[in-house]
Structure 1
Amino acid sequence: MVQQDPAKDKLRCPFSPLQKNSAITVDDELFTATTTDFRGEKPQISRHFSKDGRQDVSQDSSFSLLEEPAFVGSSSDPTDGKLYFFFSEVGKEFIFVDELRIARVAQVCKDDVGGQRTLQNKWTSFAKASLLCQLPKQLPFNVLQDVFTLPPPEGGLASDTLFYGVFTSQWSVGPESAVCVFKLQDVRTVFAGSYRTFDMQTHQWSSIQGKHSYLGQCGLNNATDSELAQVKKSFLTGGSVKPMEGGQIVVSSEQRYSHVAAMRTLAANGKQYTVLFLLTESGFLHKVVLLGRGAQVIEEIQVFTQPQLVKSIVLSSKGVLYVGTSEGVTAVPVSRCSIYRTCGQCVLARDPLCGWSRTGSVCTAVNGSHENMTQDLEDDNVEEKCRGEGGAGRLTVIAHLNEAVRLQCLTPSSLASLTWTSPRFRNLPEKLFIRSADGSLSFFATADTFGTYSCEAQEGGYREVIASHEVRRAATPRSISPFPKADESHMTNEGESDEDILTEAPFTSTPRPSGDSETFTTEPIEGFNPTPGRDGRPWKEPLDGPRLQQQSYYNALVVVSILLAACVCLLMLGGLHVWRRRDAGLKTSPLVSPEDGSRINRAMERVPSLSSPEEAGPELKVE
């Protein structure tokens, strides 16, 4: 583990994860391009973990070398011992009302140690150049979104290294983007050419008169102070790096691409083709193959259902593309040959990674052996390539009357046009059938719409049936009882235990002669023992005859009636007694005083006689 000063750790990555940065490791040394302050206003390109006793190197802070950069990638050139950083920044060499963003590439030398007195521990090889991605007579795509480094083919020169960049325009209103490719040799040529110098008094850029061979070169540790003073203010090249073949290879006015990856592959015809993987901001991955007649989108894969902030994409040598986001990593295979069901679909896909195997009658990945492999990338000889190969099979669809039927038909490629054919179209109006944007056909199942329907795909003059359906009417269901009929002797009451089930001894039928006819009698088998039940207890012996149960409710009714009559009589007597007491007007008075519970009142209220309500009875006194 390398021990470093904690204060220097802040210079290796930004404070905010939303700020763009780039880093690359070469020979166990770390080179970073990031911001070093909390606000993200101080950009810095530095070297960390320097080897061989060298000091770490960073940019000169006395002069603004970078203007609000947004770093997107980095690459190394081991042949020249240089590193390149790709970014977009505000161009101060132009004077506009609005700030003009410019795509840049900056270089530093891997073994740069700085000057002796001037630019100590600072880059003496730092220089930057603009990347030009522009259509003729149109505004340039001036904002660099991502860059991918494609190494040269095996055995090729390092100068054949390619840089694929995704560009957008700051003036675009809609989702517009372009892909340009730059060659390493062109980048080297620009950095070895003329430079501009910055006037400290007028704050203007001007071209340098004469040749200064030391600008943009490595090994300036022994340069003079005057040369290093010129290096400090002359770090912008006079020329721009132009794309290969004079323009963009991919231009889209409907998609805004954010990331790019590229790979080379060997097709069945022995030629090498380049395949690009372009990720859109809406979460779709476009697979683009670079053919002789131009770039062609051959497949679209939905990676995310919702737009996510993609951090990076990495192309593995195992045939997998990894897409990294803040939530996780998604693996996408570089080829999906199994989605092409027929020879025509496989060939028309024009995927150099896929080919039709005649021996296996399947679309498979192109490997080292190309025998019996059918593939056509440049020409449109599909009929010749797929002669004798079978087409799509017919599917049967069962539907009821007045049921909505939807027949699926997937587009084999983005350039194919779909057409539905059926004998029913001749006699039925077109309004009965609905053709959806996804290629499906919908209608209601009637006696007139039952029949065969075929979906044909046409591309490049080649027509092929890719889906065939036969819509049939569902058979009318028969009236079937949900419960099977059974004899009463086979039915038992629910909840009946095993002991309640009566069994009889088995009988055998023995024919006995009786005149001209045969009479069958039944006899019990000797020695038969009933089989025990599931609980281990034997079955009950059979009864001599049927047991009849008769229940009568007469006695219970009599008892209930008597009890009801008794209750009515008691209620009547109780009511009569209460009525007579109220009619007599009896009144009672408490005998105990509330003040003294132990003493008895000396006088009682007058109680009227029961015989005569008007005569007063004798007064009772208690002493």
Structure 2
Amino acid sequence: MTDWAPTWRVLVLVGLLDTCQVLLIPRTTFITGSPGRSLTHFISPGIENTTTLLLSNNGSTLYVGARDAVFSLNVGRPGIMEIRSKVDWSPAEKELQDCTRKGKSEMDCHNFVRVLQFLNATHMYACGTFAFKPTCTYINRKDFSPTGQEVGQGRCPYDPYQRNTAIAVDGALYTGTVANFMGDRHVVSRFMSHADLRLDESQGWLKDPTFVGSTFIPSEGKVYYFFRETSMEYTFINDYSISRIAQVCTSDVGGKLIMQNQWTSFAKAQLRCQADTELPFNIIQDIVTLPPPEGDNPDDTLFYGVFSSQWSMASGQSAVCSFRLGDIKKVFAGNYMKLNRNTLQWGPRHKEKVANPGECGLSNATDKLWFVKENFLAEGSVEPGDQGLTLVSPDQLYSRIAAQRTRASSGKDFTVLFLLTESGFLHKTVLLDKGPHIIEEIQVLKQPQSVKNLLLSITKGVVFVGSSEGVFEVPVSNCSFYLNCAECVLAQDPFCGWDPNRLSCVELSTISSDVAQDVEFGNVNKACKIQTDPYICICSYHGPSRKPGICAVEYGGEASLSQGIQTGGATLGVPKRQP
């Protein structure tokens, strides 16, 4: 019996480790009201649907687009959100009546602000659905007063539930949205520039797209759009959704003889989030840009996207994939397929390539523009980075993502993802060489909701969540929750380290020397410089409506099992202490 015991313990330990890695179990869970993870929550009577967020450059003011209002919050002090200014912006009674007469619900006929961008140092630009009649206005940032109103068609969706994207570059507004009341005309446009441009579905440029994001890459002089649409290149399957990246040049002025007032630099390609032998995660939900470290090659810019699958038999509910700018540029510089304008079907191109679609400065090149007009879909697909799928969750549907890079005490950089689930939990996840590790999950929203937003401020060290339940401020680190060196190291949180002088787990940036931290492995004995730690929790399973977790524990050199303890409404990822 004695001979078999160590083998049994090893098998249990290995089995639990495999389970943790496969199921991506959050190490610690904080439900609403848990004292161990305080959140700052702004809510005010009469202010609803606070879903559009914009942070000032100095990080002291958060601008919020809401239902029938735009307002600013003072967020200069940690843990405090106070309203500073507010603009009421409601449709008139006649406009509300016209909206309901067209068959829309009274609730949806309010003005939901869906575009909020800085145009320059003095003014913001805001657009709202405005009773299914999109409208925009300029807001003076100094006295927070609106100036005039203008038609918002092509700049903002009609329906508050339709997704859109907008970004301001050098005073011009680049948008991707629905451009008619029926919701079946989608456009990619530029406004308020020396040459306003547009393209839409009528010529096969797009096919029922849903826009999820856009970003400006200064080194390329291009705006990149991210969206999903119905595929036209695969004829063997109907209604197949496909994720896309498209590019346009900020210097584009449209064609001179043909393609006047249209993009001459538009090109698009497939984003493929797929493991070799698995069904693809083909529906992009959200995207975030992670610039390279300062001084590094801009081609190392990464785009982290959250994807789901349209097939229930896929290997998981959600996946995260990253795409490198250098790989995207290679695909756009490659071959292109040809569009048959009669059938709107894509096929192989037989003629010689006479232009590079997506190239800037083609306005006067008529022969090249004819080529671009029929060859704007890249033949190749943008594949995920070297590690393949960054993360696959079998049981969580992620809807929003934020990302940052931070340096551990070892000098190694780690990427931390903040993933918002459909059920309203925020998963803080660090990407390790051996795979992703969910440090903690925090319940932010009480009710699932389709329209929400996530905004990360690296300088402030907080994540803002905009929702129908108000605005939440979530600190990126929660170091003081860990009561001793072992717990601090086992969290594998790159923001946290054990300070042997203060005998506390604190933010890494506040420790001058002798920090105890091991993000990659969580090796307590090595990091805490002790011979034998009395307890080491390898993994735990816990959360709302779940039983206390089972931990694999190394105690006195032997593996054993112990139940996780309940602390502040959450299960702490360490076992009960041995006497």
Q: TM-score by structure 2 length? A: 0.67
Q: State the partner residue of 2:341.
A: 200
Shift in alpha-carbon separation, 1:220–1:60, aligned structure 2, 3 A: farther
Q: Indicate whether 1:99 and 2:239 are aligned.
A: yes
Q: How does 1:275-294 map to 2 (within 5 A)?
A: 275-294=416-435
Shift in alpha-carbon separation, 1:118–1:338, aligned structure 2, 3 A: same
Cα distance in 2 between the residues matched to 1:438 and 1:68 = 49
Secondary structure of residue in 2 paired with 1:219: coil
Q: Indicate whether 1:25 and 2:165 are aligned.
A: no
**Can you list the C-alpha shifts for 1:442-497, whole angstroms capped at 9, x where unaligned?**
xxxxxxxxxxxxx9977xxxxx75476xxxxxxxxxxxxxxxxxxxxxxxxxxxxx
Could you tell me how far 1:359 is from its partner in structure 2? Answer: 0.4
In structure 1, which of residues 351, 356, 375 is the aligned counterpart of residue 493 of structure 2?
351
In structure 1, which of residues 338, 342, 352 is the aligned counterpart of residue 484 of structure 2?
342
Could you tell me how far 1:203 is from its partner in structure 2? Answer: 3.7
Could you tell me how far 1:412 is from its partner in structure 2? Answer: 8.4
Q: State the partner residue of 1:185.
A: 326
Cα distance in 1 between the residues matched to 2:200 and 2:431 = 42
Q: How does 1:148-547 map to 2 (within 5 A)?
A: 148-172=288-312, 176-209=317-350, 210-224=352-366, 226-316=367-457, 317-367=459-509, 369-387=511-529, 417-418=550-551, 439=565, 466=577
Q: Indicate whether 1:47 and 2:190 are aligned.
A: yes
Secondary structure of residue in 1 paired with 2:246: strand
Q: State the partner residue of 1:85.
A: 225
Please, which moves more after superposition, 204-213 or 85-94? 204-213
Q: Indicate whether 1:146 and 2:289 are aligned.
A: no
Cα distance in 1 between the residues matched to 2:362 and 2:324 = 26
Cα distance in 2 between the residues matched to 1:139 and 1:388 = 47
Query: Structure with the greater relative contact order (CA < 8 A, sep ≥ 6): 1 or 2?
Result: 2
Q: Identity of paired residues, percent?
A: 47
Could you tell me how far 1:419 is from its partner in structure 2? Answer: 8.1
Q: Indicate whether 1:135 and 2:278 are aligned.
A: no
Could you tell me how far 1:305 is from its partner in structure 2? Answer: 2.5
Cα distance in 1 between the residues matched to 2:466 and 2:481 = 25
For 1:195, give the aligned amino acid: Y
Could you tell me how far 1:172 is from its partner in structure 2? Answer: 2.0
Contact 2:426 2:441 in 1 (8 A): yes
**Can you list the C-alpha shifts for 1:68-125, whole angstroms capped at 9, x where unaligned?**
1111110111112111000000001111453100000111111111111211111001
Secondary structure of residue in 2 paired with 1:374: coil
Cα distance in 1 between the residues matched to 2:572 and 2:208 = 54
Shift in alpha-carbon separation, 1:234–1:31, aligned structure 2, 3 A: same
Shift in alpha-carbon separation, 1:390–1:307, aligned structure 2, 3 A: farther
Cα distance in 2 between the residues matched to 1:374 and 1:438 = 24
Q: State the partner residue of 1:64.
A: 204
Q: State the partner residue of 2:159.
A: 16
Contact 2:308 2:318 in 1 (8 A): yes
Shift in alpha-carbon separation, 1:389–1:10, aligned structure 2, 3 A: farther
User: If each structure's strand is expressed as a fraction of its own residues, which one has the higher value?
Assistant: 2
Cα distance in 2 between the residues matched to 1:420 and 1:156 = 42
Shift in alpha-carbon separation, 1:456–1:76, aligned structure 2, 3 A: closer
**Can you list the C-alpha shifts for 1:220-261, whole angstroms capped at 9, x where unaligned?**
11112x332222221111000001015101011111111111
Please, which moves more after superposition, 105-114 or 174-183? 174-183
For 2:182, give the aligned amino acid: R
Could you tell me how far 1:157 is from its partner in structure 2? Answer: 1.9
Shift in alpha-carbon separation, 1:440–1:419, aligned structure 2, 3 A: farther
Shift in alpha-carbon separation, 1:282–1:389, aligned structure 2, 3 A: farther
Q: Indicate whether 1:113 and 2:113 are aligned.
A: no
Shift in alpha-carbon separation, 1:138–1:384, aligned structure 2, 3 A: closer
For 2:498, give the aligned amino acid: W
Shift in alpha-carbon separation, 1:204–1:440, aligned structure 2, 3 A: closer
Could you tell me how far 1:417 is from its partner in structure 2? Answer: 3.7
Secondary structure of residue in 2 paired with 1:59: strand
For 2:372, give the aligned amino acid: V
Please, which moves more after superposition, 256-265 or 369-378? 369-378
Contact 1:419 1:457 in 2 (8 A): no
For 2:361, give the aligned amino acid: G
Contact 2:550 2:564 in 1 (8 A): no
For 2:365, give the aligned amino acid: A
Shift in alpha-carbon separation, 1:131–1:97, aligned structure 2, 3 A: closer
Radius of gyration: which is bigger?
A: 1
For 2:500, give the aligned amino acid: R
Contact 2:539 2:550 in 1 (8 A): no
Q: State the partner residue of 1:476.
A: none
Cα distance in 2 between the residues matched to 1:342 and 1:246 = 34
Contact 1:132 1:241 in 2 (8 A): yes
Could you tell me how far 1:308 is from its partner in structure 2? Answer: 2.9
Q: TM-score by structure 1 length? A: 0.62
Unaligned runs of 5+ in 2: 1-122, 124-136, 139-146, 543-548, 555-560
For 2:197, give the aligned amino acid: V
Shift in alpha-carbon separation, 1:370–1:267, aligned structure 2, 3 A: farther
Contact 1:168 1:178 in 2 (8 A): yes
Please, which moves more after superposition, 362-371 or 235-244? 362-371
Contact 1:108 1:125 in 2 (8 A): yes
Shift in alpha-carbon separation, 1:12–1:353, aligned structure 2, 3 A: same
Could you tell me how far 1:375 is from its partner in structure 2? Answer: 0.6
Aligned length: 419
Cα distance in 1 between the residues matched to 2:335 and 2:506 = 52
Could you tell me how far 1:192 is from its partner in structure 2? Answer: 1.1
Contact 1:348 1:382 in 2 (8 A): yes
Q: State the partner residue of 2:101.
A: none
Unaligned runs of 5+ in 1: 394-409, 422-434, 442-454, 459-463, 469-623
Cα distance in 1 between the residues matched to 2:210 and 2:292 = 27
Could you tell me how far 1:139 is from its partner in structure 2? Answer: 0.9
Contact 2:539 2:552 in 1 (8 A): no
Shift in alpha-carbon separation, 1:436–1:272, aligned structure 2, 3 A: closer
Cα distance in 2 between the residues matched to 1:169 and 1:456 = 33
Shift in alpha-carbon separation, 1:440–1:5, aligned structure 2, 3 A: closer
**Can you list the C-alpha shifts for 1:176-220, whole angstroms capped at 9, x where unaligned?**
110000001111111111111112244431222322333221101
Shift in alpha-carbon separation, 1:345–1:436, aligned structure 2, 3 A: closer
Cα distance in 2 between the residues matched to 1:411 and 1:341 = 17
Cα distance in 2 between the residues matched to 1:60 and 1:303 = 38
RMSD: 3.3
For 2:496, give the aligned amino acid: C
Shift in alpha-carbon separation, 1:343–1:437, aligned structure 2, 3 A: closer
